[in-house]
Chain A
């Protein structure tokens, strides 16, 4: 373990990249879902 006075590296970029990695395909799935679900009100 590193000493407590040295500040740990910032992980903001990695966090953003990791969330984008999973949220982009999920957004695609949700978009397709909404398109299909609207048929309940228009079909």
Chain B
């Protein structure tokens, strides 16, 4: 179908233009709209639940069964980076509709793939089509939330991005129970995918129906700043500034360091205390991993909200500086005290989550709200890079150390030092962040005209 016909179809449903809030619309309706999308797409982190069933039903290796997830994460980064400008132009309702259609139909295509034993359909459906839904869905509410909560942007984006962490908590037990009920053979997996696709479509529709953008002529909260107050920079100009690349390094280093713990959490705690009088059992290690997920989620809302009080630059000083200190404590004293090891790991994971959730507000402080969603989308390539870099470093080094005959805590010594180094690099990059030079700013009349044009087309 030609693009113009698609546009006409979307226009006829009021999807193609930003939905302007009617008088009296409460801004507290926007976070649940955002959460309905993020809680759904956060399912991606629970993909591992399907892996054992897929491997036995379709005779796949572990590497093959991870393909849909890996392609999904790559597509998340690409669609967020390249679709960000479209999201800004067409508004959050369009973005959430695209996310809903892609994410749900990804499951439906996968159901067909499982039912017909065509694994490539699962890779295409969940990985490629669903992955586009992940990227567009992830950035869909960010700009809108910041515009509704100019007084508390950290808290607002923290709520949404916490939902991405929460999505896996919901999907993991839910998907496991479904496979138990339907069975782990082809038809059971197909039925589970089908139910996932339909349920997520219904659940995400709340976001499509509820999301509204504030009117640009007055602040969303009385006495507070207006949504378009302050410096405004376009996405095209933003990527030409050193500030954008400093934040890219900050995010990449913070995420890589967090993945350093996440990737190896269970074997790490087992190895650290293997030779002590209180070794860690397999089930206790699983409990540790669950606790890390809780810290990751709590950090997203807790630290991001704190950034509204102490400032974005200061909170990243904490994430990166104190994070490096926590890694140092694990490296030097971690095997002598289990509570110390657990507390340090929890703090690192809370900073990992906080780093994700605070970055949109940091972008808003530097580049304004004009195209903050598109800028955020481009910055998420740092996440994709870290997603490859983090596990690669940790697994490669752990393998080499094992080959060298090391055991216990000494297996992780080099990895921990590298993580400290990465956090220090991020800390330095954060120190280089300064207000954006005036030559990158959008002139106020052009920005106002753009907003007016959007509202007229609504």
Interface residues of A (CB under 8 A from B): 1-2, 7-9, 11, 14-15, 18-19, 21-22, 25-26, 28-30, 32-34, 36-43
Contacts and interface: CB of A to CB of B under 8 A. Distances in A.
B24 A33 contact: no
Contact of B166 (A7, A26, A36, A39): A26
Given A39-B283, A41-B287, A43-B281, A11 B26 contact: yes
Contacts of A8: 22-25
Contacts of A39: 283-284, 286-287, 290
22 contacts: A1-B215, A8-B23, A11-B24, A15-B28, A15-B32, A18-B29, A21-B206, A22-B35, A22-B206, A26-B35, A26-B169, A29-B166, A29-B169, A30-B169, A36-B290, A37-B294, A38-B287, A39-B283, A39-B284, A39-B287, A40-B291, A43-B281
Contact of A25 (B23, B39, B287, B288): B39
Contacts of A11: 24-26, 29
A41 B339 CA distance: 11
A38 B171 CA distance: 19
- Which bracket fits the contact residues of B? 35 or more
Given A21-B206, A38-B287, A43-B287, A15 B29 contact: yes
Contacts, number: 94
B210 interface: yes
Nearest to A14: B29
A42 B283 CA distance: 9
A11 B32 CA distance: 14
A2 B293 contact: no
Given A36-B286, A39-B283, A41-B287, A15 B173 contact: no
B385 interface: no
B173 A19 contact: no
B163 A22 contact: yes
Nearest to B217: A1
B259 to A, nearest CB: 20
